[in-house]
Structure 1
Amino acid sequence: MMHALAFALCLAGFVALALATRRQQHEVIGRSLPRGPVRGLRIAGAAALMLALGVLVGWQGWGLGLVMFSGHTTLAAAIVYCALIGRVRMAARKAGQR
């Protein structure tokens, strides 16, 4: 259960951090967000990652908790990265079919 919670927090954190970048805002939303929401996304992303770290370290201690955190963040970042690439490719394919 702790693995699922930590992974969900890592995934949410990386999604928020990705949406805080202008490039992803243009590709996903179609426009840039104002500074306030961007700052909020950055804070929320960092807070989610820190909360995931706290969950894992509190559960397994610093030694194994940091190793687990590294694995969770790697997997979550890879999923977000691949999802963003897939979204761009699907949009390009749809634009080519028109």
Structure 2
Amino acid sequence: MTPLVVALNIALCFAGFAALALSLDRHHRDALAGRVPAGRALPMRAAGWALLALSLATAIAWEGWNFGPVQWIGALTGAGLLVVLVLSYRPVWLRPAALLALPLGLALLPAILLA
């Protein structure tokens, strides 16, 4: 298990869960003080599910079918907990944290490829 791959998966899962959470009116209202605009909910849901699928593909690509899904479930758990904590205590931080998690996670990609 490579810690960089775990960090990448957690970042992808966090961004995916954040997109899914922000596609809901309740969380969008808490985080951004307004309802989800009419045409934005579906693309946010699609992006959230795509990021979660990408994290599964990443885990399987680097860890194989034996350990990849196990690592992915762990990353889902950790990222989900982080999203719940941010939504519970500082909902206005969710959007900036998600927008920061994705590039930081992808910045790990060259280090993962070289390792």
> Residue 10 of structure 2 contacts residue 76 of structure 2 at CA under 8 Å; is this kept in 1?
yes
Shift of 1:81: 0.2
Select the residue among 66, 70, 78 that pairs with 1:67: 70
TM-score, normalization by structure 1: 0.84
**Residue 33 (1) aligns with residue 39 (2):** no
- RMSD of aligned Cα (Å): 1.1
Select the residue among 5, 10, 17 that pairs with 2:8: 5
Partner SS state of residue 15, structure 1: helix
Alignment deviations for residues 30-64 of structure 1 (CA, whole Å, 9 cap, x no partner): 11122321111101100000000000001111121
TM-score, normalization by structure 2: 0.72
| Equivalent position amino acid for 1:29 in 2 | L
> Residue 16 of structure 2 contacts residue 47 of structure 2 at CA under 8 Å; is this kept in 1?
yes
**Residue 82 (1) aligns with residue 81 (2):** no
Question: With CA pairs under 8 Å and 6+ residues apart, which has the higher RCO, 1 or 2?
Answer: 2
Q: How many residues align?
A: 88
**Aligned partners of 1:36 and 1:62: how far apart in 2?**
37
**Aligned partners of 1:4 and 1:77: how far apart in 2?**
14
**Residue 49 (1) aligns with residue 33 (2):** no
Q: Which has the larger radius of gyration?
A: 1
Instruction: List alignment gaps of at least 5 residues for structure 1.
Output: 89-98
**Matched residues, percent identical?**
38
**Aligned partners of 1:74 and 1:43: how far apart in 2?**
20
